[in-house]
Chains A and B, each alone.
Chain A
């Protein structure tokens, strides 16, 4: 819905449209189902309270993903959290797939920051410039993270990672 103040999407529509995307982002970051659910809920509550106009639907999605990333950042940097939660991505994948995915396993082993950029770039399809804007980082910094992530993935998967 557009009005004079920009593109407005109700929170219900936003949840219908993007809850899975937000959940996947949160899961990629935390590797933990319960944390991903908490972050998803927090994200949409913030969206409901924000009530800001956006330029279009893509803008809404980018905003939601950014909030999810920042929410999960606060969670994973807690020292207590680091010691008391673990990446259960392997467990999840093994229950959801007949064959274990070494690709998802490998990404799950990357540092949190690299997992985020890998997810945004390879799954969500954002450009380096868009990712830099979402993460409030420099383009060159994101490129560096991508380069290091690919190096590590190449080492883990024993194959070249497409750019």
Chain B
């Protein structure tokens, strides 16, 4: 029985005693830092040492000294504020003349949105393909992999394949995307992966000659999540 074997194997995995001891020590130490707060040891301050008998820290400071200290604080705060303003101005000026944030469109699937400024298109492709090749082996029998394998056989990367057929791709509206996500578990689709933050994915869909549809999503720069859709009559009818 799988369950029994898996339980047996996991029971053998235990943290080291040394680690557990260090864990307790570190958590307890962290607890002290969090709970002690901003306690100030006045015994070690200069002012405390200069006090005479019966005097309080505040009493030992003259009015002129207090006014002086107050102005010093005002000047210090103003200086910090000025530094922040200058930094914000400089940063804002750089953005005006820096790279534009180009929206990914059907004519340029690998856009600045996907690539780091110093990365070439081919480097982005390689990262995407590397990830895809890591997970594609799980679905040898799936149509999504067959699609990609066909592209590989032609000597193309996944992104090149999609770029060549980019005229067939259209960006899905949010409602369509939600419908696809809700149907993912009905086995009409084969999904490689989907992150928790579904809103961060931009989905594209294309129809191919054999009447099947392929959907893919671009989430982070290095990831591609792919699903194949078959039998999308309801969506085709709405187009």
Q: Hey, which bits of chain A sit against chain B, CB under 8 A?
A: 11-12, 15, 19-20, 23-24, 27-28, 36-37, 40-41, 44-45, 48-49, 73, 79, 92-93, 96-97, 101, 103-104, 107, 111, 113, 118-119, 122-123, 135-138, 140-141, 143-144, 148, 152-153, 157, 159, 161-162
Contact = CB atoms under 8 A, between A and B. Distances in A.
B15 A40 contact: yes
A41 B26 contact: yes
Nearest to A157: B2
A24 B14 CA distance: 7
A105 B8 CA distance: 13
Contacts of B34: 48-49
Contacts of B1: 162
Nearest to A161: B2
Contact of A103 (B9, B135, B138): B9
Contacts, number: 96
A92 B13 contact: yes
Contacts of B193: 111, 113
Interface stretch (B16-24, B159-167, B209-217): B16-24
Contact of B135 (A15, A23, A111): A111
B12 to A, nearest CB: 5
B27 to A, nearest CB: 5
A153 B2 CA distance: 10
Contacts of A103: 2, 5-6, 9
